[in-house]
């Protein structure tokens, strides 16, 4: 490949595809009522699936507590929950497979992009947008505004803003810890020869932010952040700081972490309900959100 613009286009397409596949896989790997229907026919599975869709459309319920003590406790529980979620391994599996497929082409892609000075300049802001202190600082800002500049009608400091900041902060803390743990365990050299490239921290923290926003605002409200995350990830390749495989797995890690944080909002109760069908009755089940998941 000697056309850097074509290379970058392929990189962005792969990133977007990876994100879409991870989203679908996460949904399939979650506690899907349609998959839990016992002996259900197609109409029964459709009815069960509609229950899941209605629940998924709702934003996560506000935690009862969102103070500093609850933040520390919930973050610790997030680390424990991360490897226990089936969706974690599906998303990481997709990211790992994509990174493995791209591995033979990593050097060639980076070499072809080094002469693309115009692209490097266009993507240069991604370097700064993806810094951990930028993503973490934004999370802290939202959290502090919600906690101390806004108040709930009942006088509580837990509101939509503090709840969002609460989740974003947890996602950044867990993502940062896992990213650097893997970096120093794998110790893959960067294209420039230093340690440690795999996975990309810029990709992981920005995709973690996007995943939390997706749960709070839906796909329509979160797609700009996913676009920014893809932009940041591509900038790490044109800046010669990472290989394609680094950002592919980093994006998967960020999504898995973000969805672990928001996925812990009330997944402990299970509802079983009958579904009438021709010739009998099927039994289907669905998870119902709890009102609160964090405690101080």
| Residues 90-114: tens digit of each pLDDT | 999 999 998 999 899 889 888 888 7
- Rg of the chain, C-alpha, whole Å: 21
- Three-point CA angle 93, 95, 99, nearest 5°: 115
Q: pLDDT for 223-259, tens place per residue?
A: 889 989 989 998 999 899 999 999 999 999 999 999 9
Please give the model's pTM, rounded to 2 decimal places.
Answer: 0.76
- Is residue 40 situated within a structural domain? no
- Is residue 288 situated within a structural domain? no
Strands (E), the chain: 269-277, 280-288
| Total domains present in the chain | 1
- Is residue 121 situated within a structural domain? yes
Q: pLDDT for 29-73, tens place per residue?
A: 554 444 444 444 454 445 444 444 444 445 666 666 667 888 899
* Measured distance CA(242)–CA(110) in Å, rounded: 8
- Is residue 290 situated within a structural domain? no
Cα 51 to its chain centre, rounded Å, is: 23
The dihedral through the CA atoms of 197, 84, 227, 224 has a sign that is negative
The yes-or-no verdict on residue 23 having pLDDT over 60 is no
- Three-point CA angle 9, 11, 12, nearest 5°: 65
Contacts of 170 (CB under 8 A, 6+ apart): 71, 74, 75, 78, 261
- Is residue 51 situated within a structural domain? no
Contacts of 2 (CB under 8 A, 6+ apart): 112
- Is residue 101 situated within a structural domain? yes
**Predicted local distance difference test score (pLDDT) of residue 251:** 93
- Is residue 164 situated within a structural domain? yes
**Predicted local distance difference test score (pLDDT) of residue 160:** 85
* Measured distance CA(59)–CA(17) in Å, rounded: 25
Would you give the DSSP letter of residue 140?
H
Q: What is the mean pLDDT of residues 71-99?
A: 92
> Which tokens hold the place of 92?
């990481």
- Is residue 277 situated within a structural domain? no
Between the alpha carbon of residue 216 and those of residues 164, 261, 281, the distances in Å are 7, 12, 36
> Which tokens hold the place of 109?
């892609």
The yes-or-no verdict on residue 24 having pLDDT over 60 is no
Residue 72 is part of which domain span? 4-33+62-270
């Amino acid at each position: 490949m000697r056309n850097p613009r074509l290379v970058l286009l392929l990189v962005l397409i792969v990133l977007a595809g990876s994100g879409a596949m991870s989203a679908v896989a996460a949904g399939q790997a979650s506690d899907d009522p349609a998959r839990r229907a016992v002996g259900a026919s197609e109409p029964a599975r459709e009815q069960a699936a509609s229950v899941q869709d209605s629940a998924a459309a709702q934003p996560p319920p506000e935690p009862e507590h969102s103070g500093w003590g609850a933040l520390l406790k919930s973050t610790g529980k997030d680390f424990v929950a991360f490897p226990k979620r089936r969706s974690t391994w599906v998303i990481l599996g997709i990211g790992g497979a994509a990174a493995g497929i791209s591995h033979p082409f990593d050097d060639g892609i980076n070499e072809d992009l080094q002469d693309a000075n115009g692209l490097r300049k266009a993507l240069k802001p991604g370097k700064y947008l993806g810094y951990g202190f930028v993503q973490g600082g934004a999370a802290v800002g939202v959290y502090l505004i919600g906690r101390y500049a806004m108040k709930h009608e009942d006088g509580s400091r837990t509101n939509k803003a503090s709840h969002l900041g609460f989740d974003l902060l947890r996602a950044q803390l867990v993502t940062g810890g896992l990213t650097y743990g893997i970096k120093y365990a794998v110790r893959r050299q960067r294209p420039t020869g230093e340690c440690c490239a795999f996975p990309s921290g810029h990709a992981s923290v920005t995709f973690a932010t996007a995943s939390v926003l997706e749960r709070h605002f839906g796909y329509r409200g979160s797609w700009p952040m996913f676009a920014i995350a893809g932009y940041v990830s591509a900038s790490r390749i044109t800046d010669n700081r990472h290989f394609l495989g680094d950002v592919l797995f980093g994006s998967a890690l960020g999504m898995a972490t973000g969805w672990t944080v928001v996925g812990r909002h009330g997944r402990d109760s299970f509802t079983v309900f009958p579904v009438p069908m021709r010739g009998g009755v099927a039994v289907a089940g669905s998870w119902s959100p709890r009102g609160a998941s964090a405690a101080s």
